[in-house]
Structure 1
Amino acid sequence: MLHAITDWDDAYANGPNIPGGERWPSAWVAPAAAFRERLLAEGRARLDLAYGEAPRNRFDLFLPEGTPKGLVVFIHGGFWLRLDKSYWSHLAAGPLAHGHAVAMPSYTLCPEANIAAITLEMAHAIAGAADLVPGPIRLVGHSAGGQLVTRMVSHTSPLPEALWARIALTLSLSGLHDLRPLLNTGMNATIGLDAMAAAESPALLAPLPGTRLICWVGAAERSEFLRQNALLANIWKGLGAATDAVEEPDRHHFNVIDGLSDPDHPLCRALMAQ
């Protein structure tokens, strides 16, 4: 049976379509704050490090015990419209247990910045964190953050060329890889996508040579997120990247990230695999 999407706002609405969805993002606040306080007390947290001049151009850096084996950068979602680095600190626990430092940046939100400008900010944030932590870099982003991390390994990447070879893996969690459908949503009045939708869509760009990409989504997510997840892994595999697409059972858009906090969870193991 043929089917077309007629309600684009509902297609990308997560909270109203998750039982108890109103609990998020508040549910992340307490565990994230407790984690920061504990690592500060242990001398393993460096907060609000500047990577640019704008007020939100800051990142938190969490350090493992001993010398870091490499760097994980986590970029948050929120449709480029909301949230900041403070909600996700506890997700660093998994990579830290694997001996990697974890950087979590904030960025200027729409409409103060457009997505192209946010992409540039994230390149500066990654470069700033990479200056502090040597070794391989693993990028992970959730939702809008999935678009931002995959833009870093597309052929129009704003990252300094010297960093390309350091990127060992990119993991997009419930990522938005083709931005054109968002032109049909009400929130685009604030996001401000136009022709930029194509230029900033990783699915319409080629990957950098040697790209290794995992697209991971909750099996209980909206059908558009399932489609977007499979889309990039499929297209980039055909363009020479090593890719995998995973649908994690019994996970929705908000709890699919939880596995990052557990060093033994399949999500964290996939991110940290050599």
Structure 2
Amino acid sequence: MNNADATDWDDAYSNFAYIPGGHEYPARWLALAAQFREEMNDKGLLKPDLSYGPHRRNRLDLFMPLEELNGLVVFVHGGYWMEDFDKSAWSHLAKGALAHRYAVAVPSYALCPEVRVSDITVQVGLAITRAASEIAGPVHLTGHSAGGHLVARMVTSTSPLAQAVRQRIRKTVPISPLVDLRPLMRTEMNKTLQLDAVEARLESPALLEPQEGVEVTAWVGAAERPEFVRQNSLLANIWSGFDCRIDAVKELGKHHANIIEGLMEPDHPLTRRLLCLQ
């Protein structure tokens, strides 16, 4: 039996079971997001439900700063491309970038098994393109877990983004990213994802070349499941051999559910790295 056969891949990707009070986080996210959306809407700084495609989930929210714009941040949510999260659960993560005068777009996208992972890649490209058409200046991309996969995918040589949009991307920060999808074919969730060897290969950022000159920081919590730490390091290790700037960060004391909280804080190292402030 080889190591791959011996690994319990379902356990390797099971996050909330290893986080104290882990299953309380979704309700917490929804409450924080709803409160922040209400505040932004009252100030007239929320442009909700902008359409970027024909599917009912092809919508994004755009949060605007009070002062003159410095550019655009796009946050792409996770949930293994299939869990019933949408943009409404993540609004509060716009706080940090907004404080630095960046508009923040948060899209939803259609989920597996209604669509394939490769279809979601295309949708996220359309969402970024729509947001970039609304906001001038540099574009900064970040996403969590499956969202980390999707933003890393945007800066590969086979990105669905047009070159005009790619050239505006200043920084990409995949958070707890899934960058090699092949192990997921060995999990129960693949009954929903329906990944095959070809799609897993073509949709794995670690198996693709980055676009020349991109700047990437792969960010993960030091207390996350070992597989997420491994995948984060994998991207940095492989892409360091190409013409791009990439590094990896393991944030102490953070697990898969709270690793994104830094985006709420203007001076948190995660926010500052995303915005190229350090």
TM above 0.5: yes
Work out the CA distance in 2 between the residues paired with 1:209 and 1:238. 11
Which residue of the other structure, out of 251, 254, 267, is the alignment partner of 2:254?
251
1:135-150 pair list within 5 angstroms? 135-150=137-152
Alignment pair present for 1:74 and 2:75 = yes
1:65-214 pair list within 5 angstroms? 65-82=66-83, 83-194=85-196, 195-214=198-217
Q: Deviations over 1:17-55 (max 9, x none)?
A: 111111121110111000000000001001011000100
Q: CA deviation at 1:105?
A: 0.2
Q: TM-score, normalised by structure 2?
A: 0.96
Work out the CA distance in 2 between the residues paired with 1:26 and 1:210. 39
Work out the CA distance in 2 between the residues paired with 1:28 and 1:70. 25
Work out the CA distance in 1 between the residues paired with 2:240 and 2:267. 27
Stretch of structure 1 that moved more, 18-27 or 45-54: 18-27
Q: For structure 2, list consecutive stretches of 5 or more residues without a partner in the other structure.
A: none
User: Which amino acid is 1:175 matched to?
Assistant: P
For 1:13, the equivalent position in structure 2 comes to: 14
Secondary structure of 2:56 counterpart: coil
Which residue of the other structure, out of 195, 215, 219, is the alignment partner of 1:216?
219
Work out the CA distance in 2 between the residues paired with 1:90 and 1:33. 8
For 2:242, the equivalent position in structure 1 comes to: 239
Work out the CA distance in 2 between the residues paired with 1:261 and 1:212. 22
Work out the CA distance in 1 between the residues paired with 2:123 and 2:166. 17
Q: CA deviation at 1:65?
A: 1.0
Work out the CA distance in 2 between the residues paired with 1:213 and 1:53. 31
User: Which amino acid is 1:228 matched to?
Assistant: Q
Q: TM-score, normalised by structure 1?
A: 0.98
Cα RMSD between the aligned structures? Answer: 1.1
Q: CA deviation at 1:3?
A: 6.1
How many pairs align? 273
Contact 2:75 2:106 in 1 (8 A): yes
Q: Deviations over 1:93-152 (max 9, x none)?
A: 000001100000000000001011000000000000000000000000100001100111
Work out the CA distance in 1 between the residues paired with 2:31 and 2:208. 38
Work out the CA distance in 1 between the residues paired with 2:157 and 2:23. 38
Contact 2:171 2:216 in 1 (8 A): yes
Q: Deviations over 1:223-262 (max 9, x none)?
A: 0000000000111111121011000000000000000000
For 2:27, the equivalent position in structure 1 comes to: 26
Secondary structure of 1:25 counterpart: helix
For 1:47, the equivalent position in structure 2 comes to: 48
Work out the CA distance in 2 between the residues paired with 1:68 and 1:129. 14
Q: CA deviation at 1:6?
A: 2.2
Work out the CA distance in 2 between the residues paired with 1:205 and 1:244. 17
Q: For structure 1, list consecutive stretches of 5 or more residues without a partner in the other structure.
A: none
User: Which amino acid is 1:147 matched to?
Assistant: H
**Percent identity for Structure 1 against Structure 2:** 55
Work out the CA distance in 1 between the residues paired with 2:153 and 2:8. 27
Work out the CA distance in 1 between the residues paired with 2:57 and 2:182. 27
